[in-house]
Chains A and B, each alone.
Chain A
Amino acid sequence: MELINAAEKKELERVAVRIRRNVLRMLKPGRSGHIGGALSCVDILTALYFKVMRVDPQNPGWRERDRFVLSAGHKCLALYGTLAERGFFDHRILDTYGDHCTKLGGHPDMHKIPGIETNTGALGHGLSIAGGMAMGLKMDGIGSRVYVIMGDGELAEGSNWEAAAAASHHRLDNLLVFVDRNGLQICGPTVAVMGYEPLDKRWEAFGWRVRVINGHDMDQILAHATNIPFERGKPSLVIANTIKSKGVSFAEGKVEYHYWKATEDGLAIAERDLQAAEERIG
């Protein structure tokens, strides 16, 4: 079954480019940010906010909205870029990133920007909070869903596995987690820093239903994000294989760009990369 036609797919891909451009817009020369993990999850965020989730930028506190939790809060550049593109706030606010008293801190703050649901940053918190949201919605008979993006390095935090057990025990099948498996963390390849393979089996053993996809393929993302629960009574998880810094040629797949202090030259190359991507989409 085709979830989107070719024209819709192209449009989503164009949105993803614009979000990547928003990410880079926040990084003026000399400003720093977690660009690598932000750019690896942009396509997932695009699919969620522009096709999957029921949200209303004019009414961000709408009780029956779907919730999104960015457990890996350091990827917030991607979330800021997505929320601006979706109309939650004015694009000009993006230019304040890094300023004193900006609403766009280095980790997200739900009290400062509409559309942000949690204050994450310390790793291993998001899944528990998302689980509580999913539980509360179910208790009230609200059919909303809770979507989460976690980093793969983050999975070494033991608190995630507490949450994984509780979500399964309490049958939270309104919960969908994307693990943004870009495979790199500060000290190197994630599997070398703290091995977690076989990751799918590990989650399955905790009672989740797991799928593995290419996290940059819009068709694959949508096929799974719109089809939950994968099994009734169980939480769903997608291992999204991604490329760190996706879309910026010189930074793709390089751990040095986990956190990048932007340069004028680098930003210029990145903009040329995005223009080329737009031309390819047509």
Chain B
Amino acid sequence: MMETLRDPRKTFGEALVAAAEKNPAIVALSADSSSGSGLTPFQKRFPERHIEFGIMEQGIIGFAAGLATTGKIPFVAAIAPFVTARPFEMFRNDLGYMRQNVKVVGRSAGLTYSDLGATHQSLDDIAIIRTIPGVTVINPGDPVDIVKAVQAAAEHVGPVYIKIGSPPMPVLMDDAYPFRIGKGVIMQDGNDVTLIGTGTVLSKAAAAAKLLKTKGINARLINLHTIKPLDTELILTAARETGKIVTVEEGYVTGGMGSCVAEFLSAEHPVPIRMIGVNDRFVEPGPYEEVLALCGLQGAQIAETVERFLECKHPLQY
């Protein structure tokens, strides 16, 4: 079967228009970033609800918080590092501490801007934003997830961070599946090992699971679209039933999704965990797929890592 690819930013923009048709409180804030975030249709459909700030990535978060105090539901969309790392204190204080109903969408996230270098890559966004109490962190794994995440974020009362990429994404999920914030999804059952994927590289984890199956390894594949709150029930069951866990994400392993899983399991049910992601480095520029390969994030590489991991017998070898 041919895989269907969809543009994540266009998908996001269309989903926001749909949400805004239903809820007049939704407004879109642009830091000279609307067109690049797929929000041109929103701007055309709701010009009076589209607010431009120019390249003002600290101020825009404060304005969003202020708008939210009056009952608006602001969606702020821009290149991920510029709405997470740059205005981190505004995110923490004005959205988190003030508990304001603002949705921040970091797009072209992860290694998407592989050729533009480290300034434009967002590998730490999950790690830093998840430290903020009360902020929901969603990392949609495919275009279906993006649509459902936007809808769920619009309905959820409280600050939300949604991370999306830019390259076309394969459709992996069924349109009809029930998306719930904080609830991961088992995409494939298996008891030899659990593969937890999130965001833009969920498709790579899925490819790895498929490859492993041809080698007789039955991996349980989980789409962990919400990183905070963490689906502890699903993860605990997976740890108990499969005994080993591999996490796959397009971001730093330091503090990322794999860390969340490890933080939880180390207290509740310690099992060997292998975290695949970007290690402690600024990633050299290059074509996206090649850069993913440099970080060991291609399907075949993930499968190989899993195989090696399963061969280890002694804890020190993990």
Contacts and interface: CB of A to CB of B under 8 A. Distances in A.
Are A and B associated in one complex?
Answer: yes
A132 interface: yes
- Centre residue among B58, B71, B72, B89 by max chain A CB count within 10 A: B58
Given A122-B93, A130-B66, A135-B63, A162 B58 contact: yes
A165 B20 CA distance: 28
B89 A128 contact: no
Nearest to A142: B70
A101 interface: no
B62 to A, nearest CB: 2
B59 A162 contact: yes
A128 B51 contact: no
A132 B93 contact: no
A2 B314 CA distance: 87
A165 B70 contact: no
B69 A136 contact: yes
Nearest to B64: A132
Contacts of B67: 132-133, 135-136
Interface in A99-132: 110-111, 117-122, 124-125, 127-132
Contacts of A265: none
A197 interface: no
Contacts of B94: 119, 125, 128-129
A111 B89 CA distance: 19
B60 to A, nearest CB: 8
Contacts of B89: 122, 125
A142 B69 CA distance: 14
Interface string B22-61: 0000010000000000000000000010010110101111
Interface in A121-174: 121-122, 124-125, 127-137, 139-140, 142, 158-159, 162-163, 165-166, 169-170
B98 A119 contact: yes
A132 B98 contact: no
B6 interface: no
A139 B59 contact: no
A111 B69 contact: no
Interface in B4-30: 27
Contact of A131 (B58, B62, B97): B62
How would you classify the secondary structure of chain A's contact residues: helix, strand, loop or mixed?
A: helix
Contacts of B99: 111
Nearest to B55: A162
A135 B99 CA distance: 19
A125 B54 CA distance: 18
Contacts of B93: 119-122, 125
B59 A159 contact: yes
A159 B62 contact: yes
B65 interface: yes
Interface string B81-99: 0000000011001100111
B198 to A, nearest CB: 31
Nearest to B69: A133
A140 B54 CA distance: 23
- Centre residue among B59, B64, B99 by max chain A CB count within 10 A: B59
A139 B72 contact: yes
Given A122-B89, A136-B71, A128 B98 contact: no
B69 A132 contact: yes
Interface string B209-229: 000000000000000000000
Contacts of A117: 69
Nearest to B59: A162
B71 A118 contact: no
Given A119-B93, A125-B90, A139-B72, A132 B66 contact: yes
Given A129-B66, A139-B70, 8 more contacts: A67-B69, A121-B93, A128-B66, A135-B67, A136-B70, A136-B71, A159-B58, A162-B58
Which 4 A/B pairs are nearest by Cβ-Cβ distance?
A132-B66, A128-B62, A136-B70, A162-B59
Interface of A: 63, 67, 110-111, 117-122, 124-125, 127-137, 139-140, 142, 158-159, 162-163, 165-166, 169-170
12 contacts: A118-B69, A128-B65, A128-B90, A129-B94, A131-B63, A132-B68, A132-B74, A140-B70, A159-B62, A165-B54, A166-B53, A166-B63
